[in-house]
Amino acid sequence: MSKKLRPLPKAPTGIDGLDRITLGGLPRGRPTLICGSAGCGKTLFGIEFLVRGALQFNEPGVCITFEESARDLALNVASLGFDLEQLQKSKKLVIDHIYIDKSEIAETGEYDLEGLFIRLNAAIDSIKAKRVLLDTPEALFAGLSDTGVLRSELRRLFGWLKDKGVTAIITGERGEGTLTRHGLEEYVSDCVILLDHRVQNDAVTRRLRVLKYRGSTHGTSEYPFLIDEHGISVLPVTSLGLTHPASTARISSGIPDLDAMLEGHGYFRGSSVLVTGSAGTGKTSMGAHFVDSACVRGEKAILFSFEESPEQIIRNMRSIGMDLERWVKKGLLHIESARPTAFGLEMHLVRMHHLLKTHKPDVVVIDPISSLLPGGSEHDVQALVLRIVDFLKHSGATGFFTALNAEDDLQSTALSISSLVDAWILLRNIEVNGERNRLLYVLKSRGMAHSNQIREFLLTHRGVRLREVYLGPGGVLTGSARVAREADERRAEIQRQQEIQDRERAITASLRAVEAKIAALQAEKAAHENELTSALGADHAEKTVALADIEALRKSRGMTIESTGRTQRPNGREGKS
């Protein structure tokens, strides 16, 4: 228990993607069988294994070729950038061409293939090779008639390779009902990789599958692979899983009005957006806006177009006031155009993968993804889109897909990918009063409170604009109906304004009248008050005079104070008497 378990040592192939599937490479020190039908890339696979071993991992290699001469081989792989002659000169590679011509050989009794062993051994020892390619020993079956000897010698050979400790690749042609024509898989059983190329709808897709890997786990699916000027690349994109990070950062859609519908900030960065609509609803323009805004921010973008050439897109977008050419020249934008029927689905995926890896875009637009449909069944396309979506999410790029759907079937034909995407914007045409107008609405946008409104979508010479639509008795009003309605509204507004002004004036007038009345009454009141005070003053003066007179009279008569009260009585209280 204290001993740490050592996993199977592996020899990395350096082939893009394969080392990920096999979790590190081929079993080190053991033979691996690569089988497949003619032209599926077996030899190339083996050569790449040797070349990368020599260049990247400092493991020299020996190539025993039974079919092609060393010169042919070197020529064939030169187009992939492999310089075999240079490698041979620098003692990184030995190529030995072994051939048997049955017509010049007579078999007379017992023999073995010791010569092959000796040659192989000499080649391995001459450069201390760590890797060996045998391509393909099955050719021996054509040259030698004693298959019993051949079989036992091949068995011995593979055992010998193991003892020698070299990591070997043995290729074999696919047979009827068996992996290889002569049953090499019986002898090489540590690791078996199957290459395949299939024609589907006139397009070829290459696939690779690790059939068997003794002592190691491995990806079991069929993985598409590509042979191009960089050699082989395998795409382990089937099972990326849902582990991508979720960004809270936002990215503008390039259309301010649309951003406003999405909480004012646009999409989530790293999310995937689907725009569906029937023909001519402006899907491409929306994609172009998105790309354009990314480039304005200095981000990188890729536009995959399945319908238009780069030139055409640039010209067309100029008509809505967008200059994409400058971004292309600046290297920020890459427009990749290819007919969907040019390759198989997988090939498209691989090409996209490649571009995404080399260009590292922040924004990717695929226009339209529905064009891929004829390239495979709906299931295939859905799987493809799933892979693209997953891959984009993992790389943190924001994906923008457009899809064409039929006018009368707006939601179902979205390739059933709508559940894969985070935001879904629907564009539709509406035909009313002899016009065709475009409508836009946000069907879903995960993780944000998006607008539920339908907007009219306008393509102006300054880009896309969104307008409020009017709800009329016959549905929403768009186009000239909307314009007429807007004019109506404007008129009504003016009228209302005038009415308000009139009423204001009337009220002000009556108010003033009242105020005037108030002023008059106040004046009257003041007059009355004056009158009152003056009257009271006179009365008081009279009273004083009268009292003084009475006093004077009393004094003159010599009356006492007591009598005063009596004398007062008739003056003050007349009513009581």
Partner 1 sequence: MKPAKQTKVNHSAKSKAPAIRYDLRLYVAGQTPRSLQALANLKRICEEHLAGNYRVEIIDLLKKPQLAAGDQILAIPTLVRTIPKPARKIIGDLSNTERVLVGLDVRPIPGNGTH
Q: Which residues bind partner 1 (CB under 8 A)?
A: 96, 98-100, 104-116, 118-119, 121-122, 140, 144
Q: Name the minimum Å distance from CB 100 to partner 1.
A: 6
Task: Supply angle C-alpha 47, 348, 389, rounded to 5.
Answer: 115
DSSP 548-575: HHHHHHHHHHT--SHHHHHHHHHHH-GG
Q: Name the minimum Å distance from CB 382 to partner 1.
A: 52
Burial level of 8, CB count in 10 A (0-12/13-18/19+)?
middle
Cα–Cα distance, 158 to 170 (Å, whole number): 9
| Residue 469 CB contacts under 8 Å (≥ 6 apart), including other chains | 439, 454, 455, 456, 476, 477, 478, 482
Q: Name the minimum Å distance from CB 165 to partner 1.
A: 19
Q: Name the minimum Å distance from CB 156 to partner 1.
A: 13
Cα–Cα distance, 575 to 515 (Å, whole number): 48
Q: How far, CA to CA in Å, does 95 sit from each of 41, 72, 120, 140, 317?
A: 18, 11, 10, 17, 55
Q: Name the minimum Å distance from CB 31 to partner 1.
A: 19
Helices (H), 136-216: 139-143, 147-164
Whose Cβ is closer to partner 1: residue 103's or residue 248's?
103
Q: Name the minimum Å distance from CB 291 to partner 1.
A: 59
- For residue 475, the cross-strand partners are 472
Given a contact cutoff of 8 angstroms between Cβ atoms, the answer to whether 232 and 225 are in contact is: yes
Q: Name the minimum Å distance from CB 123 to partner 1.
A: 9
Q: Name the minimum Å distance from CB 143 to partner 1.
A: 8
Q: Name the minimum Å distance from CB 30 to partner 1.
A: 24
Amino acid code (one letter) for 164: K
Q: Name the minimum Å distance from CB 110 to partner 1.
A: 5
Cα–Cα distance, 557 to 29 (Å, whole number): 164
Q: Name the minimum Å distance from CB 137 to partner 1.
A: 11
Whose Cβ is closer to partner 1: residue 63's or residue 356's?
63
Whose Cβ is closer to partner 1: residue 114's or residue 435's?
114
Identify the DSSP state of 16. B
Whose Cβ is closer to partner 1: residue 74's or residue 332's?
74
334: enclosing H helix or E strand: strand 333-337
Given a contact cutoff of 8 angstroms between Cβ atoms, the answer to whether 46 and 67 are in contact is: no
Whose Cβ is closer to partner 1: residue 95's or residue 421's?
95
Whose Cβ is closer to partner 1: residue 105's or residue 342's?
105
34: enclosing H helix or E strand: strand 31-36
Cα–Cα distance, 212 to 184 (Å, whole number): 14
Q: Name the minimum Å distance from CB 59 to partner 1.
A: 22
Whose Cβ is closer to partner 1: residue 135's or residue 292's?
135
| Residue 91 CB contacts under 8 Å (≥ 6 apart), including other chains | 60, 126, 127
Whose Cβ is closer to partner 1: residue 12's or residue 61's?
61
Q: Name the minimum Å distance from CB 141 to partner 1.
A: 13
Whose Cβ is closer to partner 1: residue 145's or residue 501's?
145
Whose Cβ is closer to partner 1: residue 60's or residue 277's?
60
Q: Name the minimum Å distance from CB 146 to partner 1.
A: 9
- For residue 276, the cross-strand partners are 403, 426
Instruction: Please state the φ and ψ torsions of residue 226, each to the nearest 5 degrees.
Output: -130, 140
Q: CA 461: distance to chain centroid?
A: 27
Whose Cβ is closer to partner 1: residue 99's or residue 503's?
99
Q: CA 414: distance to chain centroid?
A: 16
Closest CA to 404 of 428, 384, 422, 387: 428
Given a contact cutoff of 8 angstroms between Cβ atoms, the answer to whether 397 and 267 are in contact is: no
Whose Cβ is closer to partner 1: residue 126's or residue 453's?
126
Given a contact cutoff of 8 angstroms between Cβ atoms, the answer to whether 214 and 55 are in contact is: no
Cα–Cα distance, 544 to 550 (Å, whole number): 10
DSSP 390-435: HHHHHHTPEEEEEEE--TT-TTTTTTT-TTTSSEEEEEEEEEETTE
Cα–Cα distance, 197 to 172 (Å, whole number): 15
Cα–Cα distance, 394 to 397 (Å, whole number): 8
Q: Name the minimum Å distance from CB 140 to partner 1.
A: 8
Whose Cβ is closer to partner 1: residue 57's or residue 117's?
117
Whose Cβ is closer to partner 1: residue 39's or residue 115's?
115
Q: How far, CA to CA in Å, does 158 sit from each of 12, 135, 139, 430?
A: 20, 13, 16, 71
Whose Cβ is closer to partner 1: residue 94's or residue 294's?
94
Cα–Cα distance, 169 to 374 (Å, whole number): 38
